[in-house]
Amino acid sequence: MRLNKLSELIHKSAEHPDVLTASVRVSFMEIIDHEDDPDYFEVVPNSYFTVARQVSRSSTSKYFVNNVVVDYRDVCELLKNKGIDLDHNRFLILQGEVEQISLMKPKAQNPNETGLLEYLEDIIGSNKYVDEIETLERVLEECNERKIE
C-alpha cells in the first residue's frame, strides 16, 4: 500500500465518519508436519498466539500480543524467538522488487555488487559460511598439491 501517514489506513466514509482506529491481527500456531501425508499436521499444544497493531488518527500505533498492550520490541523479540526473520523482511516482497531481482546478474562481478547468488545466500543465511568455505577450499587445494607430490 502506498500512503503518506498510517492514519490513511483508517476507514472514512459518510456512513462511518467517526472511525478512530484501524487494526490488523495475525494468528500464529506452531505445527508439526507429517512426512507421510503432506496435508496432515498436528498443532503444538499451547502454541497459539496473536499479534496485533492498532493505528490511531494521530498515526500512532499500539501493539498487542494476545490482546495485551506491549512494546514494539516485545513483538519483535517474540517473533524472532519463534523463528520469524525480521532482519531481512523476506516475508514481504515490495512492489518492484520482483523485477529488480529478475534483472540481477547470476553472480556478482566484484565484492561491492550483489548478484542473485549473493542475494539468495543472504536470505537463507549461508553467506556467513563464505569465508570458512574459502579457507577450506585453500586447505583442500594444498592437500591435493601434497598428494600429487
Written as tens digits, the pLDDT of the chain (149 aa) is 567 788 888 888 899 888 999 999 999 999 999 888 888 999 999 999 999 999 999 989 999 999 999 999 999 999 989 888 777 666 666 667 778 888 889 998 888 888 898 888 887 888 888 889 999 999 999 999 999 98
- Residue 85, pLDDT score: 73
- Residue 92, pLDDT score: 64
32/52 same-domain check: yes
- Residue 89, pLDDT score: 63
- Residue 88, pLDDT score: 64
* Domain boundaries, position 133: 88-149
pTM, two decimal places: 0.59
Place of cell 492514519: 7
Q: What letter does residue 107 receive in the DSSP assignment?
A: S
140/99 same-domain check: yes
82/134 same-domain check: no
80/121 same-domain check: no
14/50 same-domain check: yes
CA dihedral 44, 51, 24, 61 (to 10 degrees): 180
